[in-house]
Chain A
């Protein structure tokens, strides 16, 4: 069990550019979550996948954000036309889905800085 991995760990980009992040969940975990964490705050839910289906999206996820999980394995989060307000840590978590006993395991995060 290698844990949840995310790539890249750090990304610096200029305003207006597109960026894409990748998350590899723990193998056989059917649920995958994306959260965003700004400085000094707790993570906030962005979206969730059950296998390959995206079942829930937060209102925080504007039209510039898109997430995919092809084949129910790894997931990507793309931000188009980045803005300075997108600067944050983007966290991925996966779980096996056991109802109230579910535990989400987090990756190390991708820190995005938009200049």
Chain B
């Protein structure tokens, strides 16, 4: 089946620290991979995505590379800010009846201290 496992939280860092949130997946076929972010009191927002192996998604200083050989899509940021505090979800999508069904990891809560 299709599943996503991501690093358990919570993760607490100081401002300007380097961030890595690990994400690995199991899938049949070739899924697209996503990172979504959920700020307090808000809905899920797409952070970045990659649709094929070796693609790198990037946005707002965050990056993740689709690694087929290790079935991973780790999220990184070189220098985090307090405003990055949120819950981060790794997800994959695969086709169903012509559409794309998302399968999410359990989420990683990130807190950045000033």
Q: Is A45 an interface residue (CB 8 A)?
A: yes
Q: Helix, strand, loop or mixed for chain B's interface?
A: strand
Q: Which of B32, B45, B100, B107 contacts A106 (CB 8 A)?
A: B45
Pairwise interchain contact A56-B51, C-beta atoms closer than 8 A = no
CB proximity to A under 8 Å, residues B45-100: 45-46, 49, 51-52, 89, 91, 93, 95-100
Give, as a whole number of angstroms, the nearest-CB distance from B47 to chain A. 11
Assess the A41–B107 pair: CB atoms within 8 A: yes
Size category of the binding interface on chain A: 20 to 34
Q: Taking the complex as formed, is A35 at the interface, i.e. its CB lies under 8 A from any CB of chain B?
A: yes
Smallest CB-CB separation from A49: which chain B residue? B99
- A104 within 8 A of partner (CB): yes
- Tell me if A85 counts as interface (CB < 8 A to partner B): no
Instruction: Indicate whether B44 reaches chain A with its CB closer than 8 angstroms.
Output: yes
Residue pair B97, A106 in contact (C-beta under 8 Å): no
The interface bits of chain A over 45-69 (1 if a CB of B lies within 8 angstroms of the residue's CB, else 0) are 1001010000110000000000000
- Find out whether the CB atom of B42 lies under 8 angstroms from the CB atom of A42: no
Question: Roughly how many angstroms separate A65 CA and B91 CA in the complex, as a whole number?
Answer: 25
The one of A4, A42, A55, A56 in contact with B104, judged by C-beta atoms closer than 8 angstroms, is A42
Report which A residues bind B (CB closer than 8 A): 4, 31, 33, 35, 40-45, 48, 50, 55-56, 91, 93, 95, 97, 99-109
A-B contact pairs, 13 of them (CB 8 A): A35-B102, A40-B106, A40-B107, A41-B106, A42-B107, A44-B104, A56-B96, A97-B98, A100-B51, A105-B46, A106-B43, A106-B44, A109-B43
